[in-house]
Amino acid sequence: MEFIEYMPGVFSGWNLVVLLAGTLGGLILGATPGLSPTMAVALLIPFTFHMEPSTSLILLGAVYTATVAGGAVSAILVNIPGAPANIATILDGHPMARSGRATEALHYSFISSLLGGVIGVFVLIFFTPYLADFALNFGPSELFWVALLGVTVIGSLGSNSVWKGLFAGALGLWLSTVGYDPVVGEERFVFTDHLAGGINIIAALIGLFAVPQVLSLLESATTGHGGTMYAMENHSVWRSLLNNLRHVKELVIGSLTGIFVGLIPGAGGQIAGLVAYDQAKKFSKAKSEYGKGNPSGVIAAESANNAMVGPSLVPMLTLGIPGSPTAAVLLGGLLIHGIFPGPDLFSVHAEITWTFIDSLLVGQVLMVMFGLVMSRYSRFVTRIPNNFMAAAVIVLAVFGTYSVQNSFSDVLVMISLGTVMYFGLKAGFGPAPVVLGIILGPIAETNYQQGKLIAESGDGMLAYFCTGNVNMMLIGLCVASISYSVFTEVRTQVLKKSEVNA
């Protein structure tokens, strides 16, 4: 059992320090309205550039896990989700706070996050090596389709409009071609010296997530957060733990939902939380109590959004297809250290990979310990003014981007991409498909060109790229995700039209 063999690595030297700091920092960042887990992880990547690969992955993983759990603080206390994954937590968490049970609600959210999160990490531990072995069968054509599948799934399933999502994904792929062609070495689309080295992944990650967030924070800065803060009562942790464990049905529903949603590339914690809440309500004998401060709602939602974390890394670590937008950013963190998803992770980089996975397990325990202590002081974190938050994020984004290659060109690219993305968000485009396109673009193009060379000496492009069981399965998945999203979008529009005309 490799995950036991590499466990001591989590507690050695800087790894433990970084895990502790990442968990605590992640909880604080997650509790702050306006800072999403994706943005927090993106901003951290420049720091990890200077670290050892295992230490850097531990930090990113700890922040990912903790921000998802910490987002419940803001959701419960202020009725504003700290992360999209905590939207469902508001439905019963905030009513609990209104009725003087804020501390109890926070206890349930952290304990449920621990239980769901641990189950999710074990899914990661047991599924990933098998899927990685399966990926050994992949050649250039299969890897090309895998890269395209990643962009297609996030573009079609992770966006409000399937066409806008796919367009954004294709744009990301195109942006990745700026710079030098990987085979011929020809300079492409270098309209200014600042683009001579291509678009740096970290500059793109930070720009696409952080800059729009800064501008959104400034939009609402002068009007304040909104939401009313409620007082924190004294409540025994042990009583909360015992009560939480009595809600077995909600914990099982939440965990299973989170696992299933996490394994689907492109879906994220928001979907996991909402689906789990909905299912827990459906299977409840007291449906009418949901939405009025029922602990079951908090338990189902929070166990789901943390159970999603581990499985969302399964397709990312094995095939390079992120299971969530934050996992897409984590993929960028892997690539900057020269570590590529696939079977090599569990053979050549076994120590790094298993130490990272073990840190996710240990991180769940630390998250609940810090979270339960932090519950008492949460009110201060949720009240950081938007103007200072925005100022801090833009300065941090500039420093972080510059620190990667000591290049001011990267900073200019970051600001430019981010500003365009802000307008894109207003028009309904999302950053996740663009980021994934930029990350997976080189993989798609390199394998396309290698496959083309093989195909030209064989049966031709169509035969090489479109035949074979794995190719057909991957093409089928691409078509299925697009078809499903188009069908859902058309059905929603037809239903809306009939409602309006009724």
Q: Residue from 218, 256, 369, 454 that binds another protein (CB under 8 A)?
A: 218
Q: 3-state SS of the chain: helix, strand, coil percent to 5?
A: 80, 0, 20
By CB under 8 A, tell whether 408 contacts another protein: yes
Name every residue whose Cβ is closer than 8 Å to that of residue 495 and which is 6 or more positions away in sequence.
Answer: none
By CB under 8 A, tell whether 161 contacts another protein: yes
Could you tell me how many residues of this chain bind another protein (CB under 8 A)? Answer: 60
By CB under 8 A, tell whether 502 contacts another protein: no
Shortest distance (Å) from residue 138 CB to another protein = 19
DSSP 295: H
SS3 of 194-232: HHCCCCCHHHHHHHHHHHHHHHHHHHCHHHCCCCCCCCC
By CB under 8 A, tell whether 224 contacts another protein: yes
Q: Residue from 1, 286, 427, 462 that binds another protein (CB under 8 A)?
A: 427
By CB under 8 A, tell whether 491 contacts another protein: no
d(CA 24, CA 30): 10
By CB under 8 A, tell whether 386 contacts another protein: yes
Positions 315 through 334 that interact with another protein (CB under 8 A): none
Q: How many residues does the chain have?
A: 502
By CB under 8 A, tell whether 426 contacts another protein: yes
d(CA 361, CA 373): 19
Closest CB to another protein among residues 357, 411: 411
Instruction: Report CA-CA distances (Å) from 406 to 13, 46, 53, 250, 466.
Output: 28, 11, 20, 50, 43
By CB under 8 A, tell whether 423 contacts another protein: yes
Q: Residue from 184, 286, 462, 502 that binds another protein (CB under 8 A)?
A: 184
Q: Residue from 7, 241, 252, 392 that binds another protein (CB under 8 A)?
A: 392
Closest CB to another protein among residues 243, 449: 449
CB 442 within 8 A of CB 147: no
Instruction: Report CA-CA distances (Å) from 180 to 70, 219, 366.
Output: 42, 38, 44
CB 451 within 8 A of CB 141: yes
By CB under 8 A, tell whether 63 contacts another protein: no
Closest CB to another protein among residues 286, 500: 500
Positions 435 through 454 that interact with another protein (CB under 8 A): 444-445, 448-449
Place of tokens 């049905």: 249
d(CA 145, CA 138): 10
Residues that bind another protein (CB under 8 A): 47, 50, 160-161, 163-164, 166-167, 170-171, 173-174, 177, 181, 183-184, 186, 188-189, 214-215, 218-219, 221-224, 385-388, 390-392, 394-396, 398-399, 402-403, 406, 408, 411-412, 415, 419, 422-423, 426-428, 444-445, 448-449, 493, 496-497, 500
